[in-house]
Structures are given as structure tokens and as C-alpha cells.
Amino acid sequence: KAGVTQTPRYLIKTRGQQVTLSCSPISGHRSVSWYQQTPGQGLQFLFEYFSETQRNKGNFPGRFSGRQFSNSRSEMNVSTLELGDSALYLCASSSAFTGGGETQYFGPGTRLLVL
Amino acid sequence: AQRVTQPEKLLSVFKGAPVELKCNYSYSGSPELFWYVQYSRQRLQLLLRHISRESIKGFTADLNKGETSFHLKKPFAQEEDSAMYYCALTSGSRLTFGEGTQLTVNP
């Protein structure tokens, strides 16, 4: 099976702009989770989508949003970018039929730099 | 609130030596615990999970509920084990990660 893919892999934006990142899960996986990875804060959970519904949400401001399509592909959007949003954004997919405990498989990430 | 702590940011051992990466957690329920590994320029990947009780690449981890620990061990480290290791627990569909331990295995 093909792994989790993320596009684009690298992105440079300026403060105040918005950005959309895309994630294609492993075929058959219906859960997609997003994480932010920074040197200072480590890996932090953003949100999780299952069957086009947000099922879980982390402690991030409302500028961070996401959605999931009927084919399980997911996008996350960050509006009004701040310098502190510079990070590696990871997407992970799992079968997650029971809503917990299933292994999550990670994509390569999108590295966002905000200038 | 759930929390995962990896007390060592950096760990360096020689090839053939035993290695133990420490992980402690706090969680009110019955945790599902994982170790993930990230090799240089590769994506984060699952190394092992406690419920499977498997030994992957010679690594094992035992869940100690009394000490709330899930330490990762390998009796004889190899150079290819050099990587970043993350301990994580899951609550529902949400993974909470520790800060990570960078393991270097010297020849």
C-alpha cells in the first residue's frame, strides 16, 4: 500500500497570509490526524477527522482549521500566519474504527516557514 | 491531563552496549503506549506498541503500571539504531508525545 502523502513538502509564506496543506491517507484509512512539530514544543496534536467530521481537537487557536473529504483526504488551513507558526506539519492516518488505540501512520510532513 | 516525559534529550552509547531509553507517563485510565522512531531524513514510524508485545529490531518495552513507565530497551545497540525516539500514549484518537530522545550509537 502507498503510504501517507502530504503536499506541498515545503512552503514559504509571509506574516498575515493564509496557507492550506493537504494530506492523502493510506487507502482504506478513514481517520486523519494533524500534528505540529517544533524544536521548542515538540509534537503537538492539532485535530483529528473521521468520516468528514472533526472528532478530536487540540489546544490551538481558531486560526487553525481543517476538513476532510468523502475520499478521506484532508486539508488543514492556517489563517493570518504568525512567525510562530513556522513548523513541520505532520499528517497521520489510521483505520480508527473504534476511535482510539489504533496505530497512526505518518506522512513526511510539510515544512512551513513564515517570514 | 495526560503527559509523557522522556528525561534524556540525548543518549550516547557504544556499539554492542545495552541501551535503555526512559519514558514515564501520567494518565488516569488504561493507556495505550507506543514508541515511534525517526531516522535521519525519514518520516516518523512506529517502532512498537505495548499491546502487541512484539520485539522489533531487537527492541522491547515493558509497561510498568506501578511506576507508570514504558522504558525501551535493547541488549546490544547497533550503529543503525542512531535516531530520534519518541514515547507516546493515546487517548482516543489523540497521540501525546514525549519530548524525544536522540540516541547516538558510536562505533
Average pLDDT (A16-40) is 95
Q: Taking chain B (107 residues) in consecutive chunks of 10 residues, what is each chunk's mean pLDDT? A: 93 97 90 92 91 81 90 96 95 88 97
Cα–chain center distance at B2: 17
Chain B environment of A97 (Cβ under 8 Å): none
**Which of B36, B93, B98 minimises the CB distance to A100?**
B93
Residue A19 has a CB neighbour count (10 Å cut-off) of 18
- pLDDT, one tens digit per residue, over A60-105 is 999 999 999 999 999 999 999 999 999 999 999 998 665 556 789 9
Nine-digit cell string for A72:
478521506
- Angstroms from A107 CA to nearest CA on chain B: 6
Higher-confidence residue: A115 or A101?
A115
Calculate how close chain A gets to B44, using CA atoms only, in Å: 6
Kindly calculate the radius of gyration of chain B based on its CA atoms and give it in whole angstroms: 13
Share of chain A above pLDDT 70, in %: 94
Which of these, B66, B52, B58, lies nearest to B20 by C-alpha position?
A: B58
The single-letter DSSP state of residue B81 is: G
User: What is the pLDDT at residue A96?
Assistant: 63
CA distance A8 to B49: 30
Percent residues over pLDDT 90 in chain A: 84
Q: Kindly determine whether residue B93 and residue A105, on different chains, have CB atoms separated by under 8 Å.
A: no
The pLDDT assigned to B25 comes to 95
